[in-house]
Structures are given as C-alpha cells and as structure tokens.
Amino acid sequence: MRTTAQVAVQRKEIGPGTITREPINTGKFSKPLARVYIIPERCKECDYCWTFCPNDVLEMSDEINASGYHHPKVKAGKENDCVNCGMCQAVCPEFAIYAKEVA
Amino acid sequence: MISPQVKTGGPVVKVQHHVNDEVIRPERLPNIWCPGCGIGIVVGAYVRAIQKSPIARDRQISISGIGCTGRVSGYLNLDSYHTTHGRAIAFATGMAVARPELEITVIAGDGDLGVIGGNHLIHAARRNVDLNVIMVNNFNYGMTGGQHGGTTPLGAKTHTSPYGNVETPFNIPYLVAAAGASFVARWTAMHVRQVTAAISRMMEVKGFAFMEVLSPCPPTFGEFNGYPDPLDMMNYFKDKAVVDNNADLSGIGVTTHPEDSVVVGNFVDRKRPSYQELLGDLRARVSAQGGAKK
Ligand code: SF4
Ligand code: SF4
Ligand code: SF4
C-alpha cells in the first residue's frame, strides 16, 4: 500500500495531466486479513463458496463428512488472502462457513 | 532479537458453532433442503437482517406455510409459526392486527403464497397489511416431487408438464404492486447482499412489504430445464440479471430461458396507510364519540 505522498510522487513521474486511478485516501485503509471457519458436518458440497469467493481463496477438500460431502478448505498459498468480504458466509445455504478477521 | 509476530490467516479452522447460530436452531442442522437449494440462502439473509435490526429479538416473528420453504420456521430460534397450506398470510394478518408491535415476516414458497394462497396474497397487498412477505420462487412444487404450478414458466418441463407447460405463469411483483403493496422487490438467491438489504428495508416499511426471491431448485426444476447443477441456475442469475428499480413491471415475467434476462430490483417503495394504521384511526374515532352508535 502506498501513502498519499508516494502517490503524489508517482503522479509527478507519470507527468502532469495524466489521470491515475489511485484513490487519494488509500493510505487510510488497510486490507483486512481473515481466517476461514467451517462446520464440516453441515456442508452439502453445493460448490457455491469456492465458486463465488471473489479472492479465489477456497477449494473443495479431499475430506468428506458423515453424509459423504466434500467440505471447503483454504487453497495452498492462499492462507493470507481472505479479506473478510463475507461472500462465502452469505451464499452458503447451510450455515457451514464464515470468516473472521485475525485480531 | 525478538522477531515481530506475523499475522496469518492460516488454513481452514474446523469448529462446531457458526456466528449466526444464535438466531437459528443449530441442533436441527443439517437442514432437509437439497444441496444448493436457495431457501437456505434466504434464511441466512433473514438471520443477518435480524442480527442488524434494532428491533428486539423477542418481537421478531417468522411464519411459514407448507412445502420446502414451509420448513423455514422450524430452523429459526424465534417465535415462529408453521401454518396450513397457503394460509401463512391469513395467520400473519390476524397476528399483525392483534399485536401490532410485532415484526412479522412470512417466508414461504411460490406455490404456497402465489397459488394455493394466492387470494390471501392479493388481498393482504390490497389492504396493505403491515407485514413482510418473502416468496422463495423455485418455479415448481418441489417437496412433492416437481409438479408445475402458477409460477412455472411457459414451456418449462416438470413431472406434470413433460412436454412443456402450456400455462402462462403469474408475474408476481406486477400482481402485488397492482394490488397496492407499499414495497415490492425481486432479487435472486445470487443477490445475497441485496436480499439482506431489502429485508432490512422491509422491516422499516409501514404496510405490505413483498419480495420475490428466485431460487435454484436443482433436482426437481433445474434437472428438466437445463440447470441440473446448483451452480447452473446461480450462474444464470449472475449473468442474466438486470437491475432496474424503475422497470415497467408488466414486462418482467421470468422465463428461465438461458437467453432471456431476469429483471431484479427494489421496484416499489411508497407511502400508503397500512391496514393497522387505518384500523387504529377508526378505533380512536369511534371511542372518541363514545363508542358505536346504538
Ligand atoms: S470471506 Fe470472502 S475472501 Fe474470505 S474466503 Fe469468504 S468469500 Fe473468500
Ligand atoms: S457453500 Fe456451504 S454447503 Fe456449499 S460447499 Fe460451501 S460450505 Fe459447503
Ligand atoms: S426440492 Fe427444490 S425447493 Fe425443495 S429443497 Fe430441494 S432444491 Fe429446495
């Protein structure tokens, strides 16, 4: 993430009259980091959470629950990519998944 | 030197409880709905709207009828009511008139609300009874194995219309708006955030607040109409939905044809006196003149 000052420097480098698409207040925000929680026994392997996660954090695991469904897991290498957007929780019909920000 | 602690999201953590469990009855899960059924998504949206709402939890009431969506009340940790087929709105109207301080939400299916209980729906909208009604539309009678009904698109195949449905379905938002509801919306199970926001708004609206939520029903509707996997119908909603809050409601019938768009939005949000308000005024007027004239 860049500070407002860094953005100003970059603008100068690009030259006057060039519009950069960097919002002027990016420095005020930090990207949330969250951990994903699942309740494996509730999952029915509908595919929604891993299909609609906008950051492509999730995938189907090899493990199955008592009903024979594969529940989700975090993709290898994506452990720090969940931004707590809440999409997986919202789209899950089973109350089987949610994310919570890492304190 | 002490190395700074690095924050990490880490792999998935397996737990026993969900952050929404306080509003549901977790001991009854997994629910009975098929994998990918949209009803559970609507319940999740309702639960999160309740968690956000300033209305006390013991004033939130859920009422449902019969059918797949009829099971909703049984999964909610609220005062809830599982009524007879098609009559959810009739029970809800009685409760809303007797106890106007309650925030009553009817969640039921298209067959229950729009067909078997169709008259209750239009007359509650006409009277503008202060209720929230969420109609989960899966385009068929799912629980009984997939029969066609009053919301099945023209030409769609079901077990009882194997050569294609010859009936023109109801365009429910148009019907309810014409009957006089204060609030009318349509979203899909893919539009989870809009569904939650609309429920929050419906809880504020005075008068009849209605939302249709189009929902995937993979085994009994999707299977015969080109959407066999749960994702098929969700992707159709994602790709073909057009948000138009000012849509001409007469032209927003749903075909589920892969080429046809699905118009969604919060179509109507208007001020009209609710049935309870008019009834309260009447009571005040009559008691001011010393009761009914003999
Ligand atoms: S909260 Fe958002 S980013 Fe994180 S896993 Fe769920 S959908 Fe993906
Ligand atoms: S959305 Fe829920 S039920 Fe569907 S695969 Fe993910 S965790 Fe399982
Ligand atoms: S039959 Fe259709 S509506 Fe009923 S639970 Fe299954 S997917 Fe849902």
Confidence of residue B2 (pLDDT cuts 50, 70, 90): low
Instruction: Say if residue A1's pLDDT is above 70.
Output: no
**Atom of ligand 2 at shortest distance to CA of A50?**
6
Percent of chain B with pLDDT over 90: 94
Amino acid at B39: I
Q: How far is A79 from chain B (nearest CA, A)?
A: 5
Q: How far is the CA of A1 from the centre of ligand 3 (A)?
A: 46
Q: Is A39 a member of any domain?
A: yes
Closest CA to B171 of B150, B191, B155: B150
Nearest by CB to residue A44, choosing from B11, B17, B30, is B30
Confidence of residue A8 (pLDDT cuts 50, 70, 90): low
| pLDDT score recorded for residue B38 | 97
| pLDDT score recorded for residue A14 | 57
Q: Is A7 a member of any domain?
A: no
Query: Looking up tokens 């294609």, which residue turns up?
Result: B164
Nearest by CB to residue B31, choosing from A72, A79, A94, is A94
Instruction: Say if residue B60's pLDDT is above 50.
Output: yes
Average pLDDT of the segment spanning B80-95: 96
Largest CA distance in chain B: 94
Cβ contact (<8 Å) for B29 and A42? Answer: yes
Closest CA to B85 of B122, B102, B110, B60: B110
| pLDDT score recorded for residue B78 | 96
C-alpha pair distances (Å), B285 with each of B96, B129, B130, B216, B293: 21, 20, 21, 49, 12
| pLDDT score recorded for residue A29 | 80
Instruction: Say if residue B58's pLDDT is above 90.
Output: yes
Confidence of residue A31 (pLDDT cuts 50, 70, 90): confident
Partner B, chain A 50-79, Cβ-Cβ below 8 Å = 51-52, 61, 67, 69, 72-74, 79
Q: Is A24 a member of any domain?
A: no
Average pLDDT of the segment spanning B129-141: 97
Is ligand 1 within 6 A of the CB of residue A85? yes
Average pLDDT of the segment spanning B69-79: 95
What's the pLDDT tens digit per position in B33-44? 999 999 999 999
Average pLDDT of the segment spanning B85-96: 96
Amino acid at B290: G
Q: Is A12 a member of any domain?
A: no
Q: Is A82 a member of any domain?
A: yes
**Atom of ligand 2 at shortest distance to CA of A44?**
3
Confidence of residue B161 (pLDDT cuts 50, 70, 90): very high
| pLDDT score recorded for residue B289 | 87
Q: How far is the CA of A56 from the centre of ligand 1 (A)?
A: 8
Q: How many domains does chain A have?
A: 1
**CA–CA gap between residue B132 and residue B208 (Å, rounded):** 6
The CATH number of residue A69's host domain is 3.30.70.20
Q: Which protein residue has the closest C-alpha to ligand 1 atom 2?
A: A85
CB proximity list for B195: less than 8 A, separation 6 or greater: B41, B42, B45, B187, B189, B211, B213
Average pLDDT of the segment spanning B190-215: 98
**CA–CA gap between residue B93 and residue B103 (Å, rounded):** 12
Q: What is the pTM of this model?
A: 0.91
Average pLDDT of the segment spanning B85-89: 96
C-alpha pair distances (Å), B29 with each of B14, B24, B40: 16, 9, 11
Instruction: Say if residue A20's pLDDT is above 70.
Output: no
Confidence of residue B1 (pLDDT cuts 50, 70, 90): very low
Instruction: Say if residue A21's pLDDT is above 50.
Output: yes
Q: Which residues from B are below 8 Å from A44, CB to CB?
A: 30, 34-36
Confidence of residue A69 (pLDDT cuts 50, 70, 90): very high
C-alpha pair distances (Å), B261 with each of A89, B230, B231, B253: 27, 19, 17, 10
Query: Does residue B36 sit at the A interface (CB-CB below 8 Å)?
Result: yes
Confidence of residue B107 (pLDDT cuts 50, 70, 90): very high
Q: Which CATH architecture best describes the domain B35-288?
A: 3-Layer(aba) Sandwich (3.40)
Q: Which residues from A are below 8 Å from B8, CB to CB?
A: 33, 79-80, 102
Instruction: Say if residue A5's pLDDT is above 90.
Output: no
ipTM score assigned to the predicted complex: 0.91
Cβ contact (<8 Å) for A47 and B229? Answer: yes
Whole-number average pLDDT of chain B: 95
Question: What ranges do the domains of chain B cover?
Answer: 35-288
Q: Is A9 a member of any domain?
A: no
Is ligand 2 within 6 A of the CB of residue A44? yes
Confidence of residue B207 (pLDDT cuts 50, 70, 90): very high
**CA–CA gap between residue B286 and residue B271 (Å, rounded):** 25
Query: Helix, strand, coil % (nearest 5) of chain B?
Result: 35, 20, 45
| pLDDT score recorded for residue B174 | 98
Percent of chain B with pLDDT over 70: 97
Ligand positioned closest to the Cα atom of B112: 3
| Domain interval for residue A54 | 34-101
Most informative mutation of A36, A56, A59 for ligand 1 (most atoms within 8 A of CB) = A36
Is ligand 2 within 6 A of the CB of residue A74? no
Instruction: Say if residue B187's pLDDT is above 80.
Output: yes
The tally of CA atoms less than 13 A away on the side-chain side of residue B13 is 16
